Structure 1
Amino acid sequence: MENIKSVQQILTPPPAHMVGDGFRVHNFFPSGYNLGLQRMSPFFMLDYNSKVEFSPKEEPRGVGVHPHRGFETVTIAYNGKVAHHDSSGNHGVIGEGDIQWMTAGSGVLHKEYHEKEFSKAGGLFQMVQLWVNLPAKDKMTTPKYQGIENNQLGKHYLPDNQGVVEVIAGEYKGIKGAASTFTPMNMYNIKIKKGVSIDISLPEKHNTGILVIEGSAKANDGETAPTDNFILFRNDGTNIKIDAIEDAILLLLSGEPINEPIFPYGPFLMNTKAEILQAYDDLAKGKFGVLEE
């Protein structure tokens, strides 16, 4: 295979930390490996809640009301269920295979908790949360919410029941993703059986990585990436060959970089310090709406 997008590094999961009391996450970027704020742009943050067993609890665990502005949060459920509420009046529950795609835009308050029946029963919990940056022209866009169920995803099935590529965003072999995005990107859940190979072609300059959710896999005949590791690619080619060493679930992220200044502070992701100060001022004045704890 020619014009290979080569592997820069395989990243092991950084030490886990808690977000609220409901999410035990490994932060691969931007802080986990000091890759820099732009290295995976338009994806600014990847928090991965690897598999963990939560005991039953009457009062659901989670993260209380907090603000966001200037980006999108994307939550992908692999095990367990999460409930979302925000100050724009959106709410929803996602379970295994589903996605919540919230555009904070000009500003929302939101909260995320384990869904109440899941919380009462306890069980296996596994999630990915991404922060997807917005370009300057769209940072103050009207907030919106996309609750995407697994059956709404575009799906490319491999022959002989060897697997499926679920297209969350972008497109794969002519099959379009379910999510609408502000900048060009491809986001796939790749589910393939042991011994299966799959070829993917992506734009050379797009920042690209693969998180190994289950099993293990090789990219371009390189070293094996085990469960919970992240494969970071260079921006030097277009083609990736993936081989499943075991039955595997892989989350592929690839997107066109947003080449603009980034000024992150707390729950906001803007272009300048002045915009951050404005966000806190607007929050204090109640411009993010109201949301009950």
Structure 2
Amino acid sequence: MNIKKVASLIAPQAPHFVGDGFRVHNFIPHGNLIGMHRMDPFIMLDYNSAYEFAPSAVPKGVGVHPHRGFETVTIAYKGKVAHHDSSGGGGVINEGDVQWMTAASGVLHKEYHEEGFSKTGGLFQMVQLWVNLPAKDKMSAPKYQAITKEAIPQYTLENEAGSIAVIAGAYKSVKGAASTFTPIHIYNAKLHKGAAVDIDLPESYHTALLVIEGSIVVNGEQAVSTDHFALFENGGTTFTITASEDALVLILSGEPIAEPIVAHGPFVMNTQQEIMQAFNDFNQGKFGYLED
């Protein structure tokens, strides 16, 4: 077996708020350890660890803002989010659902706690990823994939060990729900205490995992606790996860796009000139209209 080893184990740093509705730990980028190229095509990961929001008559969230050049992927573990964008995409992301928004040539969007959840308050837990697009697709038309929990294919592990929900890519014979521009695997592995599972991924892919619930041991030697992030070396093809207790693990792996990345605020392009063009287009109203 060609073992893929853990390169770095990262504890959650002090959280910060995005708007007033998302209390997040940032794992990608992460200081000098993980830049946008190190986990490309995953160029950002914000993790709203489980947090109790008090009831609010006015839904908390993030107001209208633009994006260009990449995709946002929101995975809902606890709580509900309402989303709207200027290309017509939108809806409510319920627990277990995934929202996959391709900003591409440019959209305005906003995200808030769903109205009913806001009124009652409760436990809120989400992951948001930014997934890079290759240069040839950065100016393609925006699109939106609303992926419900029921639509995400599941691979059932033997001996009632648990299951793997395949959001994107494939696990063994099970193909994921999301359409992607480049080869990407995104899994939610739900494991019962004592269960072990082998994950096989291409050696050249950038790979990491985040423990959403419980705790695990990787390759029989590296313990990873709740809310901790493990970055894998670029080498090897297989790693083993053993659940120290009932666990839920987000696994990310993707083929690097290996193109220049120039990012500024909500725009991720290949050159500084393209960033300036994005700002000009936004200021000229070319991203459409969305009421705040």
Mapped contact 2:161–2:196 kept (Cα < 8 A):
no
CA distance in 2, matches of 1:254, 1:48: 17
Q: Which residue of 2 aligns with 1:202?
A: 201
SS for the counterpart of 1:276 is helix
* CA 40–175 in structure 1, closer or farther in 2 if over 3 Å, else same: same
Give the CA deviation at 1:34: 4.1
**Is 1:70 aligned to 2:73, yes or no?**
no
Q: Which residue of 1 aligns with 2:102?
A: 103
Structure 1 residue runs without a partner (length 5+): none
**Is 1:190 aligned to 2:182, yes or no?**
no
Q: Number of paired residues?
A: 292
Q: Which residue of 1 aligns with 2:58?
A: 59
SS for the counterpart of 2:166 is strand
Structure 2 residue runs without a partner (length 5+): none
Amino acid at match of 1:268: F
Amino acid at match of 1:282: D
Give the CA deviation at 1:39: 0.5
Mapped contact 1:23–1:62 kept (Cα < 8 A):
yes
SS for the counterpart of 2:150 is helix
**Is 1:165 aligned to 2:164, yes or no?**
yes
Give the CA deviation at 1:200: 1.1
Q: Which residue of 2 aligns with 1:155?
A: 154
Mapped contact 2:210–2:228 kept (Cα < 8 A):
yes
Mapped contact 1:14–1:32 kept (Cα < 8 A):
no
Q: Which residue of 1 aligns with 2:253?
A: 254
SS for the counterpart of 2:56 is coil
SS for the counterpart of 1:76 is strand
Give the CA deviation at 1:154: 1.2
Mapped contact 1:72–1:102 kept (Cα < 8 A):
yes
SS for the counterpart of 2:105 is coil
Matches within 5 A, 1:214-253: 214-253=213-252
CA distance in 2, matches of 1:112, 1:92: 10
Alignment RMSD (CA, Å): 0.8
SS for the counterpart of 2:221 is coil
Q: TM-score, normalised by structure 1?
A: 0.98
* Runs of 4+ off more than 4 Å: none
Amino acid at match of 1:127: M
CA distance in 2, matches of 1:154, 1:178: 7
Amino acid at match of 1:206: Y
CA distance in 1, matches of 2:217, 2:139: 40
